[in-house]
Each structure stands twice: as C-alpha cells, then as structure tokens.
C-alpha cells in the first residue's frame, strides 16, 4: 500500500511540475522539496525528537477528536462547521421520588453513555432536583443531577445530559465532577450498547427514537437545522473517542502566538483577524498521531516491560520503527520492544516546509544563512493549518518567525461563486484554459481580484487577456519597424508630448511599484493596462506616427526624442506587465530589447525606477488637453460620419489662458 502511495505521489509530482512550468512560475527547479522523501522524513522525525526532549511532544490516553469514517484521531484544525438536518427529541426521565423531567437532545444514541444530568444553579425549574438521581430511559442507568453554570437555561428544555462524550463541555464536566466513563461508540462508528450492538450511529439513533416512542417516553420531536463539526476530509460528523495519541503541547503559549502574529507583516492586513480568532479559540493541544498507513512514522518504540518511550538516535534518521529496533536496551534493561504503528499527521510535516526546503538537518550553516524566509504565499483557508503550525514549529525550534511576510490569497471559484469540487463536476482544469487561450491569459485572469479575495471564474477575462497579448505584440511590431538603426545612446531633448508621456510613465511606475510591494497584483495590472492601452497606444503612438513615418519634416532631435521616449515607454510597459504575463513580455524582449539592453532576459533586468526629474506637471496638463481635444474631434467626426483623416476647416478650443501659448 505504501509503495502504491509513493508511486502515485511521484506521478502527481511530475504533473504538478509540468503545470507550474507551463504557467511560467519562476523558481529554481533544481531546488525543490517534497514532504515525503527521506529529507522530509528525517526533518520531521528530528523535530519530533527535539519537541519530546522539550517536553512539548507527549502521549496520553484521553478523549480525542475522532473521525469514525476515516477511523483516525484528527486535530481541531481539521474540523469544519456544516449545517445539517436533525431533530430535537424531548425525552422523559424519571426522578427518584416519582417526579419526571424532560430533556431535549439531538443525540439520543448517547443515552447509554449518560453519566449525569446538568442544570443551571439559578434555574428555578430544576433547583429542587439538584442532588437527586435520575433514571436514564431504556438503559435504566442511575445518574446524579448536578448544578453547573455552563448549562444553558434558554436552550432546549434547559437541562441536559452529560455523556461520554458528546462535545467539549461533556469532557469538562466529566473531568470536573470525576464522573464514570461509559464508552458506547467504537472507533468505526458503531454502538456497543446492549440491544443496539453493531448499529451505525444514524441507524442506532433511528431505532432508539422508535423504542422511545413505543415506550411513551418521546414527548415531542422538532425538526431543526443546526451546525455540527465534521471532518474536513470526508464530511463525517466527528465523535470523541478515548484513545492513546501523540500531542504537541501549546495551549499554554496562546498569548505568545498572538504576539508573534503581531510581528508578522500580513498582506492584506485584515487576514490577521483570522489568525487571531483561531489562536484565541484553541481548546486542544495539537493532536499529531494518525491511525493510517502512509505517512511519516514516529521514531519511537515502547518497552514491553515498563512501557517507557524509547527514541531513535538522531544519526539513524530517517527510520521506520516497524523494520528497525533500538540499538541499546531500555533503561529498565529490557530488549523487547513494540514499535509505534501510528504515523504523523501531514501537517506535522508540512509545518516544517521552511526547514525542509533550507536543509535544516543536512546543512546547518546554509540553514543559518537563509532562515528565516522572506515570504509565505498561501490561501486564506489554511491560515489555521499551514501558517499557524509552521509558525508554531518555527518558534519551538528557532525562537523566531519562519518568515517576515505572509501574502494571503483567496480561492478560485466557479462561475457561480461556488468552490470547485470534482464531486460537484464544476472543476475548471487550468491546462484546458492554457490550451484554449494561453498561460499568460490564465495569469491575467488570476490577477483580476484583490489580494485575499476569492476569484470567480470568468472566461471573458481570458479573452481580455489574449486581446492584451495581441495588442502588446502588434505595438511591438510597429515599434520594431522604426528601430532597425536605432541607437538608444543618442540623446535628444524631448518635446512637450514626449514629456507628457514620460510624466505619465513615471507616475504609473511609482504607483505600480507601491502596489507590487504590497503584493496587490490587481492594481499593478490595472494601472499598467490603462497606461499601455490609453496613454501609449491610443494616443502617444498616434501623436508620433508622423515623426516616425516622415522624419524629413522634423528636426533630427525631434525624431530621436520620439524614438527614445517610445523605447523607454514600451520597455517599461513590458517590465510592468512581466510579473503578470511572463511569456509574451519575454518573447518581445528577446526580439526587440535583448541586444540593446545586454541582459539575457526581461526577468533578470531591473524593475523600472521612478524618476522625479522626468515628471513635468505643466507638460502633463497640456498633453491631457490635447488628448481630450483629439478625443472630441474623433467623436465629432464619427457622429457626422466623416473620415477621421478629413481635415477640419476650423477648431475652437476653450482652455485656461496660461495654456494657450503652450497649445499653439
């Protein structure tokens, strides 16, 4: 089974690599990490041993969050809230002395696990029953009636069963009042209660309700919809099962983790609220053991004589305790051991991705130079999974944040705003979109939302992306015609319209630089688009065409200035577009700019730099008037159905007095 899993991961890995490379993701493909190879296993096992020695990793038998479908313990972070249809069942209990009370519950299958009845101490309806015994229907169990302020008088009938275990509060009551333990649900979700043995939870619930009705003990049933905790992997409602599990102790450090969250730079800032809410809501230590077969094994054996935990030696990592034995006897002298069969939760390893990628256990000097990393890019749905757990491991092992910045993106949703799922049949495959449009068009679509917000699938964005790609290519072809003998080293004083676009260009460079420094790629794209389409193509290219096509009608400096300005504006536009559309920008750069720039790739060139000296507010104001004037003339000719090339006999322009001479 493990070999099949490994084969599947290798196949999936190659598919992912092909997809990422086709998308144009920029990274060192010779320096990739995996979360299931020898380095990852060694790192994860090394981390566990370190945490065990810090008294952070511990094993205990206790109620744990359990998925009966997957038959494994899970962590709090793996829970999802799901609205489900159910019923409030009003069940009659007998009180010693012959009186009766009614308890409303959505889980009658836990009657056999009832160990107490709880009411609020100030609830006048039940004060007289506190201290008495109640009889659990069907199972005839005698249980005490207790008072506790955690009971909610306004919920149901105001008095509740304490069962082992229905929820977190049950566990708190069980521990606080030293109540007995009655286990009625097995690890695979079946009942053990007499008369209901082997029935699955829903089957047992149905049969117990039928039996209560037959006995006249079901007084009322109300259909409801309520929120239940389910396992995010399979959607099954979770149970609380007593079992031995490995945990990482961190509830005592919630305040420290909140402080570390303050030190981290969040993009966007409001995503920190999700982190804070998660940390504040933690109720369990981190459960890291899973009852599965494929994963990272614990480097642990248990002494058959004294049950002492025996750890592997660090120099022997990675190790599989199922196929190896400790090299020395236990402290008690025994040489008989039982290996740990459980494996680590995937997040126990994924939380070490900075350490794995930077070879923490293999090259300490290199790790010290590179750690912490600068950025963690990820989606918002795994802040509580990946980001928080990585931060926890970073603090435990290195007493610092694992990265300085966190860039949190949203989800890609279908055209109706629904999460994509193979079971729903609404998955849009990226490779299909790349084949139909292009990788750059897909990236163009992906950049069409604010950082942190979910992105709906909109095919029109792919079309717009391809239009922009085509426009870039056509504009570059036009420029190339006039650049055969162009020497960018030859300077020339720019004209007013040259200064106009230089001003616009420097302003957009400044805005785009600020946007990309905040990881706001949508503003980078939108502002670059506006400059390229409206300023450069729709206007400046039209303004200078005559200088380029009829150079003999102009001074040599005027022609050179047009070429210099056009070269600068187009190259800067390509560089601003490059993070969004790396393929078309690189292609144009190779044909048009590589030789003149002397740098082999646009992606290795310097980012455009804002030059305040080239900002001419007066030239911009005059240029804007000219643009507006030209737009009005074009509109007038279109309305009159006159050729755009037809000359006008006269044109009256109403402008501010200081601009008159400039326009002349």
Task: Identify whether the C-beta of residue 268 lies closer than 8 Å to the C-beta of residue 289.
Answer: no
Distance CA 352, CA 44 (A): 7
pLDDT tens per residue, range 321-353: 999 999 999 999 999 999 999 999 999 999 999
Distance CA 63, CA 165 (A): 8
pLDDT tens per residue, range 64-116: 889 999 989 888 888 888 999 999 999 999 999 899 999 999 999 999 999 99
Q: How confident is the model at residue 589 (pLDDT cuts 50, 70, 90)?
A: very high
Q: What is the pTM of this model?
A: 0.84
Does residue 421 have a pLDDT over 70?
Answer: yes
Phi-psi region of 162 (alpha: psi -120 to 50; beta: other; left: phi over 0): beta
Q: In this predicted structure, what is the pLDDT of residue 13?
A: 86
Task: Give the closest residue to 115 by CA, choosing from 184, 216, 201.
Answer: 184
Does residue 648 have a pLDDT over 90?
Answer: no
Distance CA 97, CA 131 (A): 13
Burial state string for 276-295 with b = 16 or more CB within 10 A and e = fewer than 16 = eebbeebebbbbbbbbbebb
Q: Does 318 sit behind a cis peptide bond, omega within 30 degrees of 0 on the bond before it?
A: yes
Alpha helical stretches, state H, 414-555? 430-436, 439-446, 459-481, 496-517, 521-530, 541-549
Give me the mean pLDDT over the 494-519 stretch: 97
pLDDT tens per residue, range 22-58: 999 988 898 888 888 999 999 999 999 999 999 999 9
User: What is the residue extent of each domain of the chain?
Assistant: 1-25, 26-61+250-409, 66-242, 439-615
With tokens 């005490």, the residue in question is: 144
Q: What angle do CA 71, 74, 80 make, to 5 degrees?
A: 110
Does residue 655 have a pLDDT over 80?
Answer: no
Q: In this predicted structure, what is the pLDDT of residue 621?
A: 92
C-alpha pair distances (Å), 165 with each of 36, 49, 111, 131, 168: 35, 32, 11, 22, 8
For domain 26-61+250-409, give the fold.
Rossmann fold (3.40.50)
Q: In this predicted structure, what is the pLDDT of residue 223?
A: 93
Residue 583 DSSP SS3: helix
pLDDT tens per residue, range 484-500: 889 989 999 999 999 99
CA 75 from centroid of its chain's CA atoms: 18
C-alpha pair distances (Å), 354 with each of 19, 367, 397, 402: 23, 9, 12, 7
Give me the mean pLDDT over the 135-144 stretch: 96
Distance CA 343, CA 298 (A): 6
For domain 439-615, give the fold.
Isoleucyl-tRNA Synthetase; Domain 1 (1.10.730)
pLDDT tens per residue, range 370-394: 999 999 999 999 999 899 999 999 9
Sign of the alpha-carbon torsion through 230, 235, 240, 243: negative
Does residue 541 have a pLDDT over 80?
Answer: yes
Share above pLDDT 90 across residues of the chain, in percent, rounded to a whole number: 80
Task: Give the closest residue to 133 by CA, choosing from 180, 98, 170, 183.
Answer: 98
Q: In this predicted structure, what is the pLDDT of residue 308?
A: 95
Give me the mean pLDDT over the 560-574 stretch: 97
C-alpha pair distances (Å), 189 with each of 92, 109, 192, 204, 291: 26, 12, 10, 10, 15
Share above pLDDT 70 across residues of the chain, in percent, rounded to a whole number: 100
Give me the mean pLDDT over the 530-540 stretch: 97
The average confidence (pLDDT) of the chain is 94
- Side-chain-side CA neighbours of 644 within 13 Å: the count stands at 7
Q: How confident is the model at residue 468 (pLDDT cuts 50, 70, 90)?
A: very high
Does residue 657 have a pLDDT over 80?
Answer: no
DSSP strand pairing (72-73 vs 57-67): antiparallel
Q: In this predicted structure, what is the pLDDT of residue 664?
A: 67
Distance CA 619, CA 564 (A): 17
For domain 66-242, give the fold.
Isoleucyl-tRNA Synthetase; domain 2 (3.90.740)
Residues 6+ apart with CB under 8 A from 415: 456, 457, 458, 459
DSSP 520: -
Token pair, residue 629, equals: 């004037």
Q: In this predicted structure, what is the pLDDT of residue 297?
A: 96
Q: In this predicted structure, what is the pLDDT of residue 314?
A: 94
Our CA dihedral for 62, 67, 73, 74, rounded to 10 degrees, sits at: -110
C-alpha pair distances (Å), 621 with each of 121, 527, 531, 615, 628: 76, 19, 16, 11, 11
Residues 6+ apart with CB under 8 A from 293: 1, 2, 343
Distance CA 523, CA 327 (A): 60
Task: Give the closest residue to 224 by CA, choosing from 109, 106, 107.
Answer: 106
Q: Looking at the DSSP assignment, which residues form a beta bridge with residue 406?
A: 266, 376
With tokens 């308890």, the residue in question is: 103
Residues 6+ apart with CB under 8 A from 224: 85, 86, 87, 88, 106
Task: Identify whether the C-beta of residue 498 lies closer than 8 Å to the C-beta of residue 614.
Answer: no
**DSSP assignment of 336-375, as one string?**
-EEE---EE-HHHHHTTHHHHHTTTTT-HHHHHHHPSEEE
């Amino acid at each position: 089974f493990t070999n099949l899993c490994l084969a599947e991961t290798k196949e999936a890995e190659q598919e992912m690599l092909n997809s990422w490379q086709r998308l144009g993701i920029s990274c060192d493909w010779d320096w990739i990490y995996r979360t299931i190879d020898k380095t990852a296993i060694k790192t994860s096992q090394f981390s566990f041993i370190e945490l065990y020695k810090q008294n952070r990793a511990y094993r205990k038998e206790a109620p744990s969050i359990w998925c009966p479908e997957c038959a494994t313990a899970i962590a709090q972070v793996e829970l999802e809230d799901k609205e489900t249809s159910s019923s409030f069942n009003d069940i009659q209990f007998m009180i010693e002395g012959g009186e009766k009370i009614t308890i409303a519950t959505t889980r009658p299958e836990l009657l056999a696990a009832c160990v107490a009845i709880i009411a609020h101490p100030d609830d006048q309806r039940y004060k007289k029953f506190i201290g008495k015994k109640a009889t659990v229907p069907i199972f005839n169990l005698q249980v005490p009636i207790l008072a506790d302020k955690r009971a909610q008088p306004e919920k149901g009938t105001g008095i509740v069963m304490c069962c082992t275990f229905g929820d977190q509060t049950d566990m708190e009551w069980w521990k606080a009042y030293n109540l007995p333990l009655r286990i009625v649900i097995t690890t695979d979700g079946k009942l053990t209660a007499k008369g209901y043995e082997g029935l699955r939870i829903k089957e047992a619930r149905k049969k117990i309700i039928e039996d209560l009705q037959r006995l006249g003990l079901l007084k009322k049933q109300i259909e409801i919809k309520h929120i239940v905790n389910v396992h995010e992997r399979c959607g099954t409602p979770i149970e609380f099962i007593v079992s031995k599990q490995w945990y990482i102790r961190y509830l005592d450090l919630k305040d420290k983790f909140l402080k570390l969250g303050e030190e981290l730079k969040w993009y966007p800032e409001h995503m920190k609220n999700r982190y804070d809410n998660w940390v504040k809501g933690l109720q369990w230590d981190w459960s890291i053991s899973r009852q599965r077969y494929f994963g990272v094994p614990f480097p642990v054996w248990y002494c058959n004589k004294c049950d002492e935990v025996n750890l592997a030696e660090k120099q022997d990592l990675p190790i599989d305790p199922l196929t190896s034995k400790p090299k020395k006897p236990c402290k008690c002298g025994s040489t008989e051991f039982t290996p740990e069969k459980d494996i680590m939760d995937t997040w126990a390893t994924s939380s070490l991705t900075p350490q794995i990628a930077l070879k923490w256990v293999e090259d300490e000097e290199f790790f010290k130079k590179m750690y912490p990393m600068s950025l963690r890019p990820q989606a918002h749905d795994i802040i509580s999974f990946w980001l928080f757990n990585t931060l926890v491991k970073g603090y435990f092992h290195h007493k610092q944040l694992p990265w300085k910045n966190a860039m949190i993106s949203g989800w890609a949703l279908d055209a109706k705003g629904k999460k994509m799922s193979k079971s729903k049949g609404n998955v849009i495959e990226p490779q299909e979109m790349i084949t139909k449009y292009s990788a750059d068009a897909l990236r163009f679509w992906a950049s069409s939302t604010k950082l942190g917000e979910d992105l709906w699938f909109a095919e029109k964005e792919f079309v717009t992306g391809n239009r922009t790609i085509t426009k870039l290519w056509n504009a570059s072809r036009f420029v190339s015609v006039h650049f055969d003998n162009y020497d960018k080293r030859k300077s020339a004083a720019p004209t007013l319209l040259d200064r106009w676009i230089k001003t616009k260009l420097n302003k957009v460079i400044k805005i785009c630089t600020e946007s990309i420094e905040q990881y706001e790629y949508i503003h980078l794209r939108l502002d670059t688009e506006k400059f390229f389409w409206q300023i450069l193509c729709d206007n400046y290219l039209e303004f200078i065409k005559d200088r380029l096509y009829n150079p003999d009608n102009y001074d040599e400096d005027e022609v050179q200035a047009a070429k210099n300005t056009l070269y600068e504006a187009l190259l800067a536009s390509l560089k601003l577009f490059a993070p969004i559309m790396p393929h078309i920008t690189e292609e144009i750069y190779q044909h048009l700019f590589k030789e003149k720039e002397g740098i082999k790739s646009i992606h290795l060139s310097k980012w455009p730099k804002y030059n305040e000296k080239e900002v001419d507010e007066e030239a911009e104001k005059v240029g804007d008037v000219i643009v507006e004037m030209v737009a009005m003339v074009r509109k007038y000719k279109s309305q009159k159905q006159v050729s755009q090339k037809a000359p006008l006999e006269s044109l009256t322009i109403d402008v501010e007095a200081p601009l008159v001479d400039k326009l002349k």
